[in-house]
Amino acid sequence: MRTLKYSRQRESIKEFLSSRTDHPTAVTIYHNLQKVYPNISLGTVYRNLSLLAELGEINRISTEEGGDRFDAVTAPHNHFYCRKCHRLLDLKMNDTAQIMAEASANFGGRIESCTTLFRGVCEDCLGEDSSDVKSK
Amino acid sequence: MRTLKYSRQRESIKEFLSSRTDHPTAVTIYHNLQKVYPNISLGTVYRNLSLLAELGEINRISTEEGGDRFDAVTAPHNHFYCRKCHRLLDLKMNDTAQIMAEASANFGGRIESCTTLFRGVCEDCLGEDSSDVKSK
DNA sequence: TAAATAAATAATAATTGTTACTATTATTAA
DNA sequence: TTAATAATAGTAACAATTATTATTTATTTA
C-alpha cells in the first residue's frame, strides 16, 4: 500500500481552495501557487487535485465547457448552466439537505456530497430573442 | 441570422439518442451511425451534438472522466459518481419534480432540465477497505 | 425547373485539457 | 544519518474536441 508523504505544494493547494468560494480551474490554481512556488509544475497541480479528490478532501466539478473545476468540500450547492450564453451560475435553494436524504433512502453506498446542475436559458438570455441559430 | 438546413445525419443523431436510455459518448454515436452512413465524419457528430444541445433538444452531460455524454431530453435523472472505482451509476429518486419546483422559486431564468450528481463511495467499494492510497 | 445561395458535409489539421515519464529532490522510518 | 520511497519540475505524449477547407447538398429565387 502506498503511504502519503507530506508536500507543501499539496497543502497549499488545499489551503488555496478553502480560501475561495468560486470554483477555480487547475490553471487558475497553478497561477496562484506560482506566487509562492515560482517553479511549481502544472503537472503537480493536476496530480494533487486528483489525489485530493480521490481522498474526498475536495470536489471535482465537470463543466460543459473548458476544464474541470475544483472546490473544497463544503455544503452541497447547485449550478445553472445556460445553453445560450454558456455561463455557469450559482443557484440558491432552500432545501438541499432534503435531496440528500431522499437519495440516500434508495441507495446502499455512502453519499458525501451532491451538486444539482440545472439547465435552460438564463434570465438575461430570455430577454433577448436574438438567437444566433434559428430553427424553423 | 443563420437558418438551419435539414440534414439526415442530424436527424439520425436525434433519433438514435431517443432510442437509448443510457448516455452514449460522441464516439459511440459515431460508430452506430457508421452502419447507416459508412463515411460519416466524427466532426459531423460533434458539430450536431453541440448544435442540438444549444437548441435544447438534447442534453450534454459532463462526466468526471472520459468524454462528455449525451441523451435526448426526457425526465430529470440522477447520477452517482464513486470516487473509488470511478463508475457513474444511475440513482433513482422518488421526488425529482419537487427539486425543479424548488429551484424555480428563486430563479428568473427558464429551467428546462436538471441532473443531480451525487458523489461518495459506492456500495461495492464500501465493502473492500483496501484503499489504494492511505492518508495518515 | 434551373441557377444562385448558403448551410452541411468529409477529411484532416490544430488546439485544449490532462496524464505519463524521467531524473532529481524531499520526507519519513529505522 | 542513512536507506527507502514518495513528490517534484520539466517535458513529452495523449485523448477529446474544435477549426479549417474544399466539396456536396439542401433551400431559395428567378
- The mean pLDDT of A20-26, rounded to a whole number, is 87
Distance CA A74, CA A18 (A): 9
Contact between residue B109 and residue A123 where contact means Cβ atoms under 8 Å apart: yes
Question: pLDDT-based confidence at A52, cuts 50/70/90?
Answer: very high
State residue B130's pLDDT score: 45
More confident call, B92 vs A38:
A38
State residue A10's pLDDT score: 97
Distance CA A54, CA A10 (A): 14
Residues 12-41 of B with CB under 8 A from A: none
Question: pLDDT-based confidence at A16, cuts 50/70/90?
Answer: very high
- Chain A residue with minimal CA distance to B111? A120
Distance CA A72, CA A61 (A): 11
Percent of chain A residues topping a pLDDT of 70: 86
Lowest mean pLDDT across A53-57, A82-86, B70-74: A82-86
Distance CA A71, CA A63 (A): 13
Considering any atom of strand C, list protein residues whose CB lies within 7 Å. A 3, 5-8, 25-27, 42-43, 46, 50, 66-68; B 2-5, 7-10, 37, 39-44, 47-48, 65, 136
Question: pLDDT-based confidence at A117, cuts 50/70/90?
Answer: confident
Q: Report chain D positions within 7 A of protein CB atoms.
A: 5-12, 15-20, 25-28
Distance from the Cα of B120 to chain A's closest Cα (Å) equals 5
Contact between residue A60 and residue A100 where contact means Cβ atoms under 8 Å apart: no
Out of A93, A111, A133, the one facing B55 most closely (by C-beta) is A133
- Chain B residue with minimal CA distance to A111? B120
Whether A126 and B109 lie within 8 Å, measured CB to CB: yes
State residue A131's pLDDT score: 47
Distance CA A55, CA A49 (A): 10
SS3 category, A116: strand
Is residue A120's pLDDT more than 80? Answer: yes
Q: Which of A61-65, A111-115, A125-129 has the highest mean pLDDT?
A: A111-115
Out of B93, B106, B132, the one facing A106 most closely (by C-beta) is B93
Distance CA A65, CA A82 (A): 11
pLDDT digit string (tens) for A64-83?
777 888 988 666 678 887 77
Q: Which residues of chain B have pLDDT under 50?
A: 130-131, 135-136
State residue A93's pLDDT score: 76
Residue A53 parent element (H or E): helix A42-55
Grid coordinates given for A37: 512556488
Grid coordinates given for A132: 444566433
- Which residues on A lie below 8 Å from B131 (Cβ)? 1
State residue B136's pLDDT score: 41
State residue A136's pLDDT score: 40
Residues 6+ apart with CB under 8 A from A12: A33, A36, A37
